[in-house]
Chains A and B, each alone.
Chain A
Amino acid sequence: MQAFDYIAPKSVDEAISALAAGGEKARPLSGGTDLIAQLQEGRRGLETVVDVKRIPELMEISISADGLKLGAAVSCHTINANQAVRDAYPALIDSTHLIGGTQIQGRASIGGNLCNSSPAADAIPNLVVHNVSCHIAGPNGRRTVAVEDFCTGPGQNVLENGEFLVSLTFPKPPPNFGAAYLRFIPRNEMDIAVVGAGASVILSDDKETIQSARVSLGAVAPTPLLVQEAGDVLAGQPISEETLNKAADLAKAAARPINDMRGTIAQRKHLSGVLTQRALRIAIDRARGAKTVDELGRLNGHGE
């Protein structure tokens, strides 16, 4: 690891200046669980590291009538410890429990997970099915991007020179809403997703029909995917094995994975279907009020 300058601005504007001045050789630091490892292993060479954790807006976590506002640098542990968030967005906790162990969760942030833009990121499919908006600040002012449009390739995203992610907003969950994120890993912890699947549904008042749904996959394409057609095929359909199978088949068809040391093409396509179906089942259960996050706290082997 080579020496770099460390700057910890207290305002968004100061951060923009520092990042713009540093150009390609500057990068924001949130929890650092990806960035520091990349620097240590020589996968990234930086001259300036801009710690954004002293900017109040990036550390904000608040629920209002509009929904959840989550500062980009809020740690997973802070989210896990917030009962109002656990109650209102149980599926978000699926991701914050999966990312790292307890110590890592004390540093790692959802915003950082998004900005690292790994195709296998455990937060992103979950954000996609929650219809999250990304609020970006930069030298040309502020802009908002839908989360499914944020990533543009492995490790790449829409952030331009001097821009950084300030916050994420989650719409207030509509009635009869449920969501879930699941991943498959060969072990029971300390692994990167072979495939990750997020799903959300809004059910009819009698909770027998799916009014609308969103399905998102991770680790099966250069970016996390919103599988629009899988959501569309569920809209207006009664909850049944057959409907879920159709969505799973479409998810499987949408997956365009590669062979690598974490999984094979055939395995990943197959798991795209399996996990889509399993995530949809949990989302439906949650929409029906059957299971809270705390009852599902040991999803994928992870403790509460």
Chain B
Amino acid sequence: MADTKHNGTAAYDLASNGKVDGDGTGQNGYKVIGTRPVRPDGVDKVTGRAVYAADVQMTGLLHGKILRSPHAHAHIRSIDTSKAEALPGVRAVVTAADLPVAEDKIEDLGEGAINLKYLSDNILAHEKALYHGHAVAAVAAISPHIAEEAVSLIDVDYDLLPAVMTVDDALADDAPILLDTLRTDAMGEIGAQPTNLASFFRHQRGDLDAAFADAHLVVERAFRTETVHQGYIEPQAATALYSADGQITIWTSTQGSFAVRGQVAEILKIPVSRLKVIPTEIGGGFGGKINVYVEPVAVLLSQKAGYEPVKIVMNRADVLAATGPTSGSNIRVKIAVDVNGKITAGLAELYYEAGAYPGSPVGAAANVSLAPYAIDNLQVDGYDIVVNRPRSAAYRAPGGTNAAFAVESVVDELAEKLGMDAADFRILNGAKEKDRRPDGVQYARIGQIETVQAIKNSRHYQTSLEGKYRGRGIASGYWNNWGGQSSATAALNPDGTVNLNEASTDIGGTRASISMQLAEALEIGYEQVKTRVVDTDTVAYNDVTGGSRTTFATGWAAYDLGQKLKQEMKRRLADVWDVSPQDVSYEDGIFYAGDESLPFVEAANVVQREEPLMASSTVHPQDFGPGFSTQCVDVEIDPETGKITILRYTIAQDVGKAIHPSYVEGQMQGGVAQGIGWAINEEYIYDDEGHLLNASLLDYRMPTALDLPMIDTILVEVPSPGHPYGVRGVGEVNIVPPAGAIANAVYDATGVRMDKLPISPANLLEAMWAKEAEAAGKPVPGDD
């Protein structure tokens, strides 16, 4: 698949020297990997038959609605639910009083550890409402309309507190405190005073002060980015049935059915053996469908309503106000270079808004920040800060986009001041094997420099951009990826097909990419593998679809299943043929021993005459390879309105080995589409009291089809040594560079360096006015 061309996509195969194929067929000898078959879920999705969480129906179904706090920060004095309970058609009303008392205990749920007390408080507010939209009570009724009316009949007596909305608000000396028991954890040292600073950490190496003092050139800038949402198209929805025998079934849209099981078990203090989570099809997640929101509430309502099923479907306003988002941030970056343009020192200070409870992605952001560069003298500081906004959730390469926006802006300015080409500067300073990322972890074989080289060699970069108010920018980005735990079983059918049961939510075509790895391992056709995503009672524990891990780790389990099935088939054929198992070989889909031979399809029948054949696999691979991406964008600015038009966009990404290139390209394009939205229009807008003003897709402005250009993709294949087929996670790193690349292009077009996101028309106009006024020595035009 070295020269795959598809939809304007050029594939670079740099893998010829990679030793990656566990089955001995050679890198270019793949039969299934690298092809582009139709996904197993395709027909159901395009015909509307696929069942999503809101589609779940059953006899006696009740409808749940949630009452949300209209205030950003308030004590809850009392909640009177009597009028709601009296409304005909209402079957149950619950508040935090119905939740068991939660422990102060940390649970790791995939993309970040969660304190269960905070998780419980976020499900239904206990003593305090901590953001506009915080769930306070819930109702189950015989229709959604009655439930909605009942919710409006609940009286909550609030004692209002000042809203703490930003890093600066939260760290002010007299800042109101959100969480009375919170103390700063400064690398294990616990503070004495109540605080909004949940934690502080520092990564450090070399002699930073000396390096800055000796530098040829230093650039230092401060940046601000706003809260943004994952923007998955399907709102959260769940149905729970608490059966009279104590067994509980939950149908939900989630990135991890086992993560739902674990969270609900902890929050409601129910053993996992009484919980069965059935994942529906999912309409996007991007990290936002790992935490539970409505599931525990539906369970409580179902029990209280007399063991009737209860469905809760969020609307878009609920989704924006109470799920997601990812952190706004204040970031300071300082980088020094020597006279040759080599980076000698790098400093990044990252202040991330966690939302109402600790747990911003600042830790991951720290590793993203300076990751693409080889730097001997380095310091990265991270601050996790609580504010009166929704509790932040993972969002595609969590924390990375903010950090890369800041670092890549400074890198661009350094290259400009040195008079160096921006790509050459990145190649000169690029991190490679044995260099270290900010926290000191040493890289194995990585492809950062190759992605810059691919952009530099691209038709896009090689074609000059003409015209006034047009500009080009590039930026790089890093993402760690993840391995995690996966479980799967494979049952051999007598007709030579295989039923593969696995439990990784399929968000990006992973049923296809996992099927392909089993088909490759067994040397059978893709269409001979039938892969299903099953519930939590069917296979062993399985981590969430997150961290770009599914094609990597669950794919590994599929590879392992293939090895096991083959081995057992050989053993049984040896019995049939009366030879030793070592004498049975398998090549090109045919088993051989001496003069005997049998194709896989026939062997599948023969080996199961006495006993059926099924294999199971559990894996926890550790050597997942990180991903890098470098991107190039051309923009045009309307100087009178400040509006950005994206003219052209090219991504080069180190994808390891692309199992299904179309879905890899789709991931790259999707991440960039989200990154463009983050860069130019998306932001949570609050008034002075902390009310969210734009909880709708009308005013929370994600890009539409008309706002995006064709996004060209270059697949740079640097196989990961940590996977039998060289797979790297590909889902996340693509969202890391866009904001930086676009900011650099805007600078090229206008001469304005944007120090904040989004680069919305209003923000860009103001920055252009400020620059003009500065040039003319005049005051900035204001509200005249």
Contacts and interface: CB of A to CB of B under 8 A. Distances in A.
Contact of B145 (A3, A194, A270): A3
Given A187-B704, A261-B685, A274 B698 contact: no
Interface string A137-152: 0000000000000000
B694 A261 contact: yes
Interface in A1-53: 1-3, 42
Given A3-B145, A263-B762, A189 B706 contact: yes
A187 B681 contact: yes
A264 B706 contact: no
Chain B interface SS verdict (over half): loop
A266 B707 contact: no
Contact of B766 (A187, A191, A262, A266): A266
Contact of B643 (A2, A186, A260): A186
Given A3-B145, A274-B641, A301 B693 contact: no
B783 interface: yes
Contacts of A188: 704, 706-707
Contact of A267 (B149, B693, B703, B761): B761
Contact of A261 (B145, B643, B693, B697): B693
B707 A187 contact: yes
B784 A269 contact: yes
B80 interface: no
A22 to B, nearest CB: 21
Contact of B704 (A1, A2, A190, A270): A190
A186 B761 contact: yes
A283 interface: no
B648 interface: no
Contact of B701 (A3, A186, A269): A186
Given A2-B149, A186-B643, A192-B698, A270 B706 contact: no
A262 B700 CA distance: 10
Nearest to B781: A266
A5 to B, nearest CB: 16
A213 to B, nearest CB: 21
Contacts of B765: 266-267, 270
A265 B643 contact: no
A170 interface: no
Contacts, number: 63
B29 interface: no
Contacts of A42: 148, 152
Given A184-B641, A267-B761, A269-B784, A261 B706 contact: no
A58 interface: no
Given A2-B149, A184-B641, A274-B641, A301 B698 contact: no
Q: Max chain B CB contacts within 10 Å: which of A1, A3, A263, A270?
A: A270
A251 interface: no
Contact of A191 (B149, B641, B701, B762): B701
A271 interface: yes
Interface in B702-731: 703-704, 706-707
A192 B699 CA distance: 8
Given A186-B701, A189-B706, A190-B704, A264 B762 contact: yes
A265 B783 contact: yes
Contacts of A3: 145
Interface residues of B, number: 30
A187 B680 CA distance: 9
A23 B701 CA distance: 38
B699 A262 contact: yes
Nearest to B146: A2
A269 B766 CA distance: 13
A189 B704 contact: yes
A3 B148 CA distance: 12
A187 B699 contact: no
Contacts of A191: 698, 701
B24 interface: no
B255 to A, nearest CB: 27
Nearest to A277: B640
Contacts of A189: 704, 706
Interface in B593-646: 640-643
Nearest to B643: A186
Interface string B755-766: 000001110011
A270 B781 contact: yes
Contacts of A187: 681, 701, 703-704, 706-707
A274 B765 CA distance: 13
A301 B706 CA distance: 8
B777 interface: no
Contacts of B697: 190
A189 B783 CA distance: 28
Contacts of B685: 261
Contacts of B707: 187-188
Nearest to B702: A187
Nearest to A268: B762
B704 A261 contact: no
Contacts of A269: 783-784
Contacts of B706: 187-189, 301
Interface string B131-154: 000000000000001001100100
Nearest to B708: A188
B467 interface: no
Interface string B656-682: 000000000000000000000000110
Interface in B751-783: 760-762, 765-766, 781-783
Interface in B227-262: none
Given A190-B698, A192-B698, A266 B681 contact: no
Given A267-B761, A301-B706, A261 B766 contact: no
Nearest to A190: B704
A269 B769 CA distance: 14
A186 B760 contact: yes
A263 B761 CA distance: 9
Interface of B: 145, 148-149, 152, 640-643, 680-681, 685, 693-694, 697-699, 701, 703-704, 706-707, 760-762, 765-766, 781-784
For the complex of A and B, list the 5 residue pairs with the smallest distance between their C-beta atoms, beginning with the closest: A188-B706, A261-B693, A261-B685, A267-B762, A261-B694
29 contacts: A1-B148, A2-B149, A184-B643, A184-B761, A186-B681, A186-B760, A187-B701, A187-B703, A187-B704, A188-B706, A189-B704, A189-B706, A190-B697, A190-B704, A191-B701, A192-B698, A194-B761, A265-B783, A266-B765, A267-B642, A267-B761, A267-B765, A269-B783, A269-B784, A270-B781, A271-B641, A274-B640, A274-B641, A301-B706
Given A184-B643, A260-B693, A261-B685, 13 more contacts: A2-B145, A42-B148, A186-B681, A186-B701, A189-B704, A191-B701, A194-B761, A261-B693, A266-B783, A269-B783, A270-B765, A274-B640, A274-B641
